[in-house]
Structure 1
Amino acid sequence: MRIPLDYYRILCVPAKATTAQITQAYRDRLSQFPRREHNALAIEARNRIIEQAFEVLSQTETRAVYDHELSGNMFRSLVPSRPKLPFPDRPSSDTELEALTAHQPTIDIAEKDLLGGLLLLLDLGEYELVLKWAAPYLKGKGKLVKEGKFGAVEIVEQELRLCLALAHWELSREQWLQQHYEQAALSGQKSQELLVDVAQFADLQQEIQGDLNRLRPYQVLELLALPESETQERQRGLQLLQEMLSARVGIDGQGDDQSGLSIDDFLRFIQQLRSYLTVQEQLDLFVAESKRPSAAAAYLAVYALLAAGFSQRKPDLVVQAQTLLKRLGKRQDVFLEQSICALLLGQPTEANQLLEQSQEQEAIAYIQEQSEGAPDLLPGLCLYGEQWLKTEVFSHFRDLRQRREDGSVSLTAYFADPEVQQYLDDLLTEAVPTPTPHPDTESTAAPSEKPPETLQSETGVSPHPSRPAKVDSFEDLVTQTPATVPRHRLLLV
């Protein structure tokens, strides 16, 4: 049989090498052993082909004849170009193999040396050719293997699987370097599948799995960056991400997903992939993760809830964000974010009170500057809130980035929405129940109707001011002053 190799490449010498150089190269090649997983049958066949190359090139007459044959092939190259991927999974026909090697030098080898030829192709980095030559002998040409033409059947089948697995693995590494991460992962998985039933290669399987684990973050980013129309591939990316989160026990968890990313590296990875996710995808992901509990996931969930609540005109999501911020507020300064939530829920008094507690000096200075001459900080907060939603929130969602400049980020439009207005009215109604005194009691206040100062002293929780009795427009909200805010206050449950 003929294989796509030439004797100079087999010995790793140039075409103008001297006899002394060829002799030294021959000795070096015999002393170089392939991976320890290869069996003796394949290594012996490899060495026979190396000896065959030396016999031809070390003798002047045979070398001259061989050089004449090489010169007749105008397409010969010491480093032949490789066929392009992807290859079909079906076995290659003899005609296809001939077409594949039509412009490459070939040599004759004995049938029993097939495995040695595959080892040499692996040595020389011809991984695609290994796939094309070896795969048929596990499929369509498997009959030749069963007949024992290449040696003991079990040993030959095992060696064929090993050669194919190593070729897929090396291709995976090349594709990784070329930043084709999904293709690299698929090649690595094919390598694992070929070895799954071969117990002797457990160490090799562990090496390959290690590469796949380290590759996964890149694979996730590549899949999630695909267009939204690529639904199946993007869902695969989300599934892989979920597997990583489960192994790590959350975004800021202490578990090990074998990716090699530290906690800080993983947080940066999450921050990077956010721009590839839609509002709904981030809602589903981070709200669920915040329940582990996870402070990092809770903060990201706040962004998702605010983005969805504002863009979809769903104040109930803003309420959920407000709840998460109260939990986060026990450990960090999130008063600025809380004040924006209060603003979106039509609660100007609370927005002002929360803002006064914030230590975000740069933001507060801007808000104060924009509120100059006003009785409170509400005008500046409105301007800051719109800008914050546009630059700090919408920019992290792939389906909202384009809406930053089309007027969508508008508090005026938000408060003018009938559904928003109805929800805020219902929120006020729920927050202010009408007390029903018992007929036999005096007109004194019931325990639940105690003044807010009394409630605060008894519970240790600051009372929550309600929104104005009626805010019909954004202008009403901005011009609402503390003097017109109803004095009734309730605790949030």
Structure 2
Amino acid sequence: MRIPLDYYRILGVPLQATAEQLQQAHRDRMMQLPRREYSETAIASRKSLLDQAYNILSNPEAKTAYDQKTFHDLPGQGKEETQIQETLPSLEVEDHQTLGALLILLELGEYELVLNLGQEYLDSLSSQDEEGEPTHTIPELSRADVVLTLALAGLELGREEWQQGTYEQAALSLEKGEKLLLKEGVFPSLRGEVQADLYKLRPYRILELLSQKNDDALAHRHGIQMLRDMLQERGGLDGTGDDQSGLNIDDFLRFIEQLRSYLTSLEQQTLFETEAQRPSAVATYLAVYALLVRGFAYKQPALINRAKRMLMRLGSRQDVHLEQAVCCLLLGQTEQASQSLELSREYEQLAFIRENSQGAPDLLPGLCLYSERWLHEEVFPHFRDLTDCQQTLKEYFADDRVQAYLEALPLESSQKNQWSVVQSKPEATPKREGEGGISIEKAEDAQAVPSSSLREKAGSSLERSTTTTATLSRSEPAGVGDRPPNSPSRSQRVSQRQGSGGRGRVQSRRGSGKTGRSSIHWGRLVLLGAGGLLGLGILIWLMGQVLGLMGSLFRNTPALEGEQLQLMLNQPPLEIPEGPPEATADTGPLTQEKAKIVIETWLSTKAKAFGSNHEVDQLSSILVDPALSRQRQRATQDQQDNFYGEYEHQVTINEVTVNPDDEDRAMVDATVNESVEFYRNGAVDGLLSYSDDIRVQYQLIRQEGQWRIEDWSV
């Protein structure tokens, strides 16, 4: 094989090297042995080339002849210096030296050349002549050495491209070496080294794929899928799992902040709503932002209502009252917006709102101005599809769909304020939603106030999300969502709104109850005991009279006439019909009709498991893990908390995709309309009840001939 090398490059010396330099270079190269995985055959092949180069260059006559053969003088030798032109020198090496030449090229950093020549050489090792004889007589061990050289070249080239910032190309080089090692089944330690680099490279690849501006949808989807894989391995945004990227929780959250601007609002909503199910406070907060911004920008107040419900889960742990006020404002719930502002402790933002509400009977003018500027300057830039959005509150409230939705909302006075415990606050006179109007005029000289960062808002979730399922989960709409924190009972809310006087009255009633339980009236107990004995005597006398009457009836009963029924112990008196036939195994492909039956069965089972009867055991008839474990835990917690819902569902199957590699797995894309009215301790919880259309992707698996739901994403 002809290799693009010359003796000077083999030893790493210049053309004018002295005898001492040649000797030192040869000694150094001989001492620098390749990796320990190489065989003695590979080391001997490399040594043969080093010795050959030294022997030629250290002999003056042989060196002169080699130089004349390899290089030639350019025209113009009459000049002061002779110009030497390299004519791409190369060597014709023997078969036993080819492997050594590849090793030397690898040491010189010629990684792409090694990959090209090495693959050609590897293919030739398996070639045969016309008579079926191998064209090479090299030992089979050399094949493993060539594979090792190619894998190392891919590893080093990938690292070089990584440093140059071409992350996806670096991954391709690394994956090429990994696939070769896997195919040949050799050098597992080196394969682990390559995999470790691929894991560390993954965050860089995600950013590169998502940030591309050439609208490459395939690359974008690939980046999102890799992000999902990382989240799954980590156990969520603030999970403690090891994705082998080397990023701790803080680093990973900064990474998420960095890539959010490359994702659309719908992509963020889908991603973070799914992650919020783990549960995760950080994901819940990010899902709220996506729902809120989509609801406002695309005039879909139902999404804002969902964001408002999700904020309730965070309210017991974090100060999110300002975000709650914005949600209430966009839903026309002016009183709730004012109440949320009163609870907020973000003093800088509140000062801005008060300053721009001067002369108004409430803080709504300042809140309108703050909300609009906050959305445009602090929120929109984090969404790829909304960076240039100029939506205004005036346009939002003027939309017919928005007006129709807000008018359909229940009266504000019927809503129970569950944001937080409110003490010593007199309850305002109830108004209908929107009464008094919402001012959307801008203050001319007002300055925007930046919102708190993600890490400030979601920082408490870095305590490893120790909140239990009881405080962070509830029955999910069409399979998603978590329960909000336990809200105070009605009596607690009433006492809280009445102020200190009300609390005093409640405490005095509790005190009198305790006194009553400690004062035992013995005379009343004696009287009750005597009455009980008298009642027992009367009951015994009545039973005796009834038994006597029945006995006389049986004695006077005439004999039966006609043929009598013959009862036998070894056969039933009447033919017993056979039970329903056992369900037959479903071996055919999953059609849309079958998929609809599966999804409808799940939703019907969900209504029973999360309904008033809490039929939790029904879940195993349609779900398998991981969905089964998650839903069983939540349904059990709902039962313990005396929390349930009354569900109504309608399903439309959009698409069914069967896995081409496994016909027992399929993906079902469905639109689910779910209406639910929630009850807590027997009372309707109107604030949580909803009716939404949700797009869901269900993962189905066929087990023992029956289709089951394994998981889903929204």
TM-score by length of 1: 0.81
Partner of 1:116: 100
- AA aligned to 1:419 is R
- Structure 2 residue 238 is matched with structure 1 residue 252: yes
Aligned to 2:48: 48
- The answer for the alignment partner of 1:287 in structure 2 is 273
Q: Cα 1:40–1:467, aligned 2, differ >3 Å: closer, same or farther?
A: farther
1:215 corresponding residue in structure 2: 201
Q: 1:206 aligns with which of 182, 192, 195?
A: 192
The residue number in structure 2 matching 1:468 is 432
Letter in 2 for 1:201: F
Residues 347-402 of structure 1: per-residue CA shift (max 9 Å, x gap): 11111111111111110111111011111110000000000000111010011002
Asked which structure has the greater RCO (Cα within 8 Å, sep 6+), the reply is 1
Say whether residues 1:15 and 2:15 are aligned partners.
Answer: yes
5+ residue gaps in structure 1?
Answer: 75-101, 434-450, 479-488
Offset, 1:112: 2.1
What residue is the counterpart of 1:427 in the other structure?
409
Judge conservation of contact 2:332–2:434 (CA < 8 Å) in 1.
Answer: no
Q: Percent identity?
A: 48
Equivalent in the alignment of 1:79: none
Amino acid at match of 2:687: L
User: For 1:274, which of 260, 263, 267 is the aligned residue?
Assistant: 260
In structure 1, the partner of 2:374 is 388
Using the alignment, how far apart are the partners of 2:240 and 2:275 within structure 1?
Answer: 14
1:470 Cα shift? 5.7
Following the alignment from structure 1 to structure 2, what is the Cα–Cα distance between the partners of residues 265 and 345? 36
Counterpart Cα distance in 2 of 1:471 and 1:14:
89
Q: CA-to-partner distance for each residue in 1:175-215, whole Å, 9 max, x for gaps? A: 10000001111111111100014444011111111111111
Q: Which residue of 2 aligns with 1:418?
A: 400
Question: Residue 149 in 1 paired to residue 136 in 2?
Answer: yes
Name the counterpart of 1:93: none
Q: Secondary structure at the match of 1:236?
A: helix
Aligned mate of 1:126, from 94, 106, 110: 110
* Equivalent residue, structure 2, for 1:174: 160
Q: What amino acid is the match of 1:368?
A: R
1:59–1:452 distance in 2 versus 1, CA, 3 Å? closer
Q: Would the alpha carbon gap of residues 45 and 466 (structure 1) be closer, same or farther in structure 2, given more than 3 Å must change?
A: farther
CA shift for structure 1 position 165: 1.3
Using a 3 Å threshold, how does the CA distance of structure 1 residues 386 and 149 change in structure 2: closer, same or farther?
A: same
Alignment partner, residue 57 of structure 2 = 57
Change in CA separation of 1:58 and 1:348 when aligned onto 2, cut-off 3 Å: same
- Structure 1 stretch 138-147 or stretch 257-266: which is displaced more? 138-147
Instruction: Tell me which amino acid in the other structure corresponds to 2:399.
Output: D
In structure 2, the partner of 1:331 is 317
Structure 1 residue 111: deviation in Å?
Answer: 2.1
Rounded to whole Å, the distance in 2 between the matches of 1:238 and 1:303 is 19
Q: Deviations over 1:238-280 (max 9, x none)?
A: 1111110011000000111000001000000000010110111
Secondary structure of the residue that 2:410 maps to in structure 1? Answer: helix
2:289 aligned with 1:307: no
How big is each residue's C-alpha offset from its partner over 1:422-443, in whole Å with a ceiling of 9 and x where there is no partner? 01111137x788xxxxxxxxxx
Distance 1:253 1:368 in 2: 39
* C-alpha contact 2:275 2:283 (8 A) present in aligned 1: yes
CA distance in 2, matches of 1:116, 1:425: 81
* Residue 73 (structure 1) shift: 8.0
Distance 1:282 1:467 in 2: 36
2:333–2:434 CA contact under 8 A, matched in 1: no
Deviation of 1:42 (Å): 1.5
Which 10-residue stretch deviates more, 160-169 or 243-252? 160-169
Alpha-carbon contact 1:278-1:397 (below 8 Å) kept: yes
Q: Which residue of 2 aligns with 1:375?
A: 361
- The amino acid across from 2:68 in the alignment is H
Give the Cα separation in 1 of the matches to 2:431 and 2:206: 44
Q: Do the aligned residues in 1 keep the contact of 2:154 with 2:177 (CA within 8 Å)? A: yes
The question of whether the paired residues in 2 share the 8 Å contact of 1:315 and 1:345 is answered with: yes
Q: 2:90 is matched with which residue: 106, 109, 113?
A: 106
Does structure 2 conserve the Cα–Cα contact (< 8 Å) formed by 1:350 and 1:464? no
1:318 aligns with 2:282: no
CA distance in 1: counterparts of 2:428 and 2:278, whole angstroms? 28
Question: 2 CA distance for matches of 1:172 and 1:465?
Answer: 69
For residues 474 and 268 of structure 1, what CA distance do their matches in structure 2 show?
Answer: 37
Check whether the contact 1:137–1:144 (CA below 8 A) recurs between aligned residues.
Answer: no
**Counterparts of 1:469 and 1:477 in 2: how far apart (Å)?**
19
Question: Does the aligned pair in 1 maintain the 2:199–2:243 contact within 8 Å?
Answer: yes
| Whole-Å separation in 2 of the counterparts to 1:464 and 1:67 | 100
> Is the 2:338–2:363 contact (alpha carbons within 8 Å) kept by the matching residues of 1?
yes
Q: What is the alpha-carbon distance in structure 1 between the residues aligned to residue 155 and residue 295 of structure 2? A: 46
Structure 2: 5+ residue stretches without partners: 75-85, 443-683, 689-714
Corresponding letter in the other structure for 2:388: Q
C-alpha distance in 2 between matches for 1:302 and 1:191? 43
Kept in 2, the 8 Å contact 1:130–1:167? The answer is: yes
Which deviates the most, 204-213 or 226-235?
A: 226-235
Secondary structure of 2:127's partner?
helix
Does the CA-based 8 Å contact 2:6-2:89 persist in structure 1?
A: yes
Which has a greater percent of strand?
Answer: 2
Q: How does 1:335-374 map to 2 (within 5 A)?
A: 335-374=321-360
Please report how far the alpha carbon of residue 132 of structure 1 lies from its aligned counterpart in structure 2 after TM superposition. 1.4
2:119 to 123, 135, 141: 135
Q: How many residues are aligned here?
A: 430
Q: Separation in 2 of the partners of 1:291 and 1:235? A: 22
Contact 1:428 1:466 in 2 (8 A): no
Query: How many Å apart are 1:37 and its aligned residue?
Result: 1.5
Instruction: String of CA shifts for 1:12-68, please: whole Å, max 9, x gaps.
Output: 112221101101111111111101121211111111000110011101111122223
* Amino acid corresponding to residue 257 of structure 1 in structure 2: D
CA distance in 1, matches of 2:101, 2:427: 82
SS in 1 for 2:187: helix
Structure 2-normalised TM-score?
0.57
Change over 3 Å in CA distance of 1:228–1:17 after alignment to 2: closer
1:34 aligns with 2:16: no
Do the aligned partners of 1:279 and 1:399 also contact (CA within 8 Å) in 2? Answer: yes
What letter is aligned with 1:355?
Answer: L
1:452, 1:216 → 2: CA distance? 47
Q: Is the alpha carbon distance of 1:467 and 1:136 closer, same or farther for their aligned partners in structure 2, counting shifts above 3 Å?
A: farther
